[in-house]
Amino acid sequence: MNESVDGGYYLRVLRRRWYVVALGALIGLVAAVAFAGSGAPSTTAKVSVEVVLPETSSGAVLQGVMTTEQEFARSTVVAARAAELLDTDQTADDLRDQIAVDNTTGSAILNFRSTGRKANDTTAVAQAFADAYLAERSEQQQADRRDKIAKLRSRIGSLTDSLQEAITAQAEAEEDSSEFVQASTQQTLLVEEISGLQDQVTALVSVSDNVGSIVTVVPADQPSKSPAYLIWVLGLAAGGLVAAALAFVVDRSDHRVRSDDDLERLVGSPVLADVSGDNPETAYSRAAAVIAARHQAANLRSLLLVAAIADPDLAQSPVRLARALTDNGLRVLLVEADRRGGTVDKAFGLSGRPGLEDIIGGVAGVRPVQPEPQLYVLPSGTNNGDAPRPFTPGILKSLVDSASQWADLVVVHTPVGVDEPDTLRLAGSTGGVVVGTRGAGADREEVQRAVALLDGVGARIVGLLTVDAKRRIGGLRRGSGH
């Protein structure tokens, strides 16, 4: 068993592995001396982009939206487009290593910073990423607008057919008869609704494609060389730090995730909150704010909530997250897809009530219940002991479409385990997936296997809900029960 991590652990490791630290510091010093002799200091360029956002974006919502924009600005698709603009042999991943994106606090400004040895190349990389980001964002906005226009026109066509039927009915009815009056009234209502929808189409067609613009370009300049002794000191310190890190790896070679940052890098998605702390409500509130921002920025309509491990804190996540989302102004439909007796049914006293299993079985008239304002719940449903029927993407789409008039977001709680059949069927069809897992201390290989399963079905991981690994034994693993 590994040594416990307490206040004196790090000092004990350094004493045991002092030779590793000494060797690393020496290597760092040698490298620094060589670098000081060769010169070639690095230089940084900055290009600032002002992003056009909805007028309602402010405060926490603005921060959440800009966090999403930062992630998108360094995404693979933007990097690939930047590579095309640069016409370079470098891969998209190589270019991403040269760029950093940050947000000017409290504003809609994204700063693209590129660091390199050559001033001209460094400036070109920052400029290319800014141009690629604006181009990709514009294409996404145009695609979203075209989709909305198509849906509106489809609705107008349907209403026009109904209007023609009303006109025919009026023509066939006797004047002043109840049928005549009813048909006339229906025509008036249909014409008003069609006119309103046409106004919406006109407004969407006339919307500007302006998604943002470059407001500042700070070209890279070759800085003056630092004094040699300073470079030596930095090399010595850097070598010592790297060696110290290596000492800890050698001392605790258990392949575990070291921190939330490490977990985020491994998964490629942010940690939304640690829900096992002393104040879980605050943690869920933070997570809900990010999801609400994603809902607003990317029209997120459905969310899959998957607990990769069986954990009592994560078992409460569907109910607590749904309530936090309603606190952020969203109307939420919470669907219990764990038909072996999930926590949602128990939390609201809905065990045995008609629900998802009945809908899948073709039972008509099954409706969600509304236990709280803005929160609707569809329980797991009734089952006579048979194996649960498959929950397919088609059924999920039908639920999302039918709830679109009274719910902004459909949250589906699946059984524990990333490899559950329903989870793998639905993960690629939802707007996003939130995974519940251990935080620091999770097993790295199990994390990678779980992510590979989700990537294999095209899932988009929105973020992670973590629990403190110090309170639980084990890491992220594939589970099959509570």
Band the pLDDT of 16: cuts 50, 70, 90. low
Residue 276 near residue 449 (C-beta atoms within 8 A): no
Mean pLDDT confidence for 377-388: 82
Mean pLDDT confidence for 2-29: 61
Higher pLDDT, 243 or 321: 321
Q: Report which of 332, 336, 313 is spatially closest to residue 324, judged by C-alpha positions.
A: 332
Structure tokens at 468: 């403190």
**pLDDT above 90: residue 320:** yes
**Per-residue pLDDT, 18:** 61
Residue 296 near residue 60 (C-beta atoms within 8 A): no
Band the pLDDT of 477: cuts 50, 70, 90. very low
Structure tokens at 388: 């649960």
d(CA 247, CA 256) in angstroms, rounded, equals 15
DSSP letters for 71-119 = HHHTSHHHHHHHHHHHT-SS-HHHHHHTEEEEE-TTSSEEEEEEEES-H
**pLDDT above 50: residue 3:** no
**pLDDT above 90: residue 438:** no
Q: Report which of 334, 339, 353 is spatially closest to residue 421, judged by C-alpha positions.
A: 339
Band the pLDDT of 378: cuts 50, 70, 90. very high
d(CA 401, CA 410) in angstroms, rounded, equals 10
**Per-residue pLDDT, 481:** 37
Q: Domains (ranges, CATH) in the chain?
A: 9-40+224-251 (no CATH), 42-222 (3.30.1890), 260-471 (3.40.50.300)
Residue 113 near residue 217 (C-beta atoms within 8 A): no
Reported pTM: 0.48
Kindly report the CA angle at 58 between 57 and 62, in degrees rounded to 5?
Answer: 70
**Per-residue pLDDT, 452:** 92
d(CA 356, CA 390) in angstroms, rounded, equals 11
Residue 414 near residue 306 (C-beta atoms within 8 A): yes
**pLDDT above 90: residue 375:** yes
pLDDT tens digits, 30-85: 666 655 555 556 778 889 888 887 766 677 778 888 888 888 888 888 888 888 88
pLDDT tens digits, 177-217: 888 888 888 888 988 988 888 888 887 777 666 777 887 88
**Per-residue pLDDT, 12:** 61
**Per-residue pLDDT, 40:** 52
Mean pLDDT confidence for 294-322: 90
Query: Which of 88-97, 204-213, 417-426 is least confident?
Result: 204-213
Which one of 143-152, 234-243, 394-403 scores highest in mean pLDDT? Answer: 394-403
**Per-residue pLDDT, 478:** 35
Which one of 214-223, 243-252, 300-309 scores highest in mean pLDDT? Answer: 300-309
Mean pLDDT confidence for 314-337: 93
